[in-house]
């Protein structure tokens, strides 16, 4: 029963981490570069709106639910550490928890909060310039971490 549950949890983590990777890839590859091409005031308003609407059950479940599943999978993997697929699951879960959920909370959310506090005016341009550079850098990290986790989960599923 535990092995079947681990399979389904790993399958769900693979799907969800891939979905999250796709969202973050979109921001890294064309959304943030598009914002860099338009007036900062427009970009600030658009990103402030995104930062409000992204807090919804579907995305929060994908982003943070996957981290919770990752914690469960780490426990399962540690109790089955002699099997190679569980090593892959352990690594995938750790990468996702630290590189995706952790970076989101420690790096991207504080930048989102700083941007939310800015109003049109003098410091908004400097806040936006910092936000665009730093947020995008950390988003690249989240993209790579969630994509790598997805690949490792898939490799673990293939290694049955």
**Which three-class secondary structure string do you get for 72-119?**
HHHHHHHHCCCCHHHHHHHHHHHHHHHHHHHHHHHHHHHHHHHHHHCC
Q: Which domain holds residue 11?
A: 2-158
* Cβ-contact 135, 108 below 8 angstroms: yes
Mean pLDDT of 75-87: 91
Mean pLDDT of 133-139: 98
pLDDT score for 2: 59
Residue from 49, 156, 30, 137 nearest 93 by CA: 156
User: pLDDT tier at 4 (50, 70, 90 boundaries)?
Assistant: confident
Residue 117: C-alpha distances to residues 47, 51, 108, 111, 124 (Å): 12, 12, 14, 10, 9
State the total domains in the chain. Answer: 1
Angle at 71 between CA 54 and CA 144, to 5 degrees: 55
Rounded to 5 degrees, φ, ψ at 80 are -130, 35
Query: Which of the pair, 119 or 53, is modelled with greater confidence?
Result: 53
């Amino acid at each position: 029963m535990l092995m079947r549950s681990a399979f389904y949890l790993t399958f769900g983590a693979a799907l969800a981490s891939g979905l999250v990777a796709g969202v973050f890839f979109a921001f890294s590859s064309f959304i943030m570069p598009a914002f860099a091409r338009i007036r900062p005031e427009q970009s600030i308003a658009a990103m402030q709106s995104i930062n409000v609407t992204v807090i919804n059950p579907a995305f929060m479940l994908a982003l943070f639910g996957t981290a919770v599943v990752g914690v469960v999978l780490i426990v399962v993997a540690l109790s089955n550490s002699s099997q190679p697929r569980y090593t892959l699951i352990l690594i995938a879960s750790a990468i996702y928890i630290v590189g995706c959920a952790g970076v989101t909370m420690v790096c991207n959310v504080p930048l989102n909060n700083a941007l939310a506090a800015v109003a049109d005016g003098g410091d908004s341009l400097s806040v936006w310039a910092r936000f665009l550079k730093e947020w995008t850098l950390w988003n690249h990290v989240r993209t790579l971490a969630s994509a790598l986790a997805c690949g490792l989960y898939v490799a673990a599923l293939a290694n049955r």
